[in-house]
Amino acid sequence: MTEHTSPVTSQAPADWGKGHGRLAGKTALVTGGTRGLGRTIAEWLAREGANIIVSGRETADVEASVTAIQELGVRAWGIPADLARVADAHALALQALGLVETLDIVVNNAGMSISQSFWEASDAEYEYQSNVNLRAPFIICQHLARDWIARGVRGRIVNVSTIGVFKGHTDKMIYNMAKAGVQVMTRNMSYELGPYGITVNCVAPGAVPDRPGSDWEVTPEDRERVKGLIPLGRFGRAEDIATAVVFFCLPETEWTSGQTLLTDGAHISGLRE
């Protein structure tokens, strides 16, 4: 694991707004927090004052993320983990709980997919996608639930799903199946953990190619075409998803649980094709 403790100066944007610091004193674990949506989510939680633990597969990426998040004026730690491995998922949860006095928030963001027709997928490819997208979040939540229940922590869990649960992706069946499981897991966990003051919610992103470190290239023609598909007239941005995650972590939303927030620019709300 990696920790940076030297003094830093906050680099939060000048226009961040009056809400800065609403999560001060909290600590959040963001899986897959080294790039993409996870990196942006981690940064937005940090700008609200939360200390951050990030996980990722590559040690160098984890260290770089820790350094960048620290520059936002909070403490940051990193734990390398390959969540396709069950042992790594258990180890990540236990190490994160052992790093800080109280881990208040977990964002199960890490995810991956292999583009292929379902009849071409091998057993190993099925297991890999299922482990990263569904089994790892389940394992992490198990460990946190035990710790929080034992110590009376009113924690927050935010899972990340996909628009593909509502509207099929070509060659993404296994990924979408796993993410559908994440939404079912969210509802069931919210019911079982509600009596302990723990909330569990989910964010389902729509089409978001504009994210840090993404290799999803969108041509000007595609951006123009999407105006006819998404009523709000643009692809999503990582910040759109981070905003939804932060919402579920705020003190003001302590009575919101078991929900999946589809953040897609109204993509599937009509009949546009």
- Kindly state the helix (H) or strand (E) to which residue 58 belongs, with its residue range: none
Tell me the pLDDT tens digit for each residue of 42-98.
999 999 999 999 999 999 999 999 999 999 999 999 999 999 999 999 999 999 999
Containing structural domain, residue 246: 21-263
User: Residue 10 domain-assigned?
Assistant: no
User: Residue 172 domain-assigned?
Assistant: yes
User: Residue 272 domain-assigned?
Assistant: no
User: Residue 52 domain-assigned?
Assistant: yes
Catalytic annotation, residues: 175, 179
Cα(30)–Cα(24) distance, integer angstroms: 16
Whether the pLDDT of residue 4 is over 80: the answer is no
Number of domains in the chain: 1
The first and second tokens of residue 234, run together, are 């643009």
Number of continuous H segments (helices) and E segments (strands) in the chain = 8, 8
* CB distance 162 to 241 below 8 Å: no
Q: At 206, which CATH number?
A: 3.40.50.720
Tell me the pLDDT tens digit for each residue of 79-90.
999 999 999 999
Phi and psi at residue 18, in whole multiples of 5°?
-70, -15
Q: Stretch 154-170: mean pLDDT, rounded?
A: 94
User: Residue 39 domain-assigned?
Assistant: yes
* CB distance 69 to 52 below 8 Å: yes
User: Residue 268 domain-assigned?
Assistant: no
User: Residue 211 domain-assigned?
Assistant: yes
Buried b / exposed e along 15-32 (16+ C-beta atoms within 10 A): eeeeeeebbeebbbbbbb
pTM: 0.90
User: Residue 270 domain-assigned?
Assistant: no
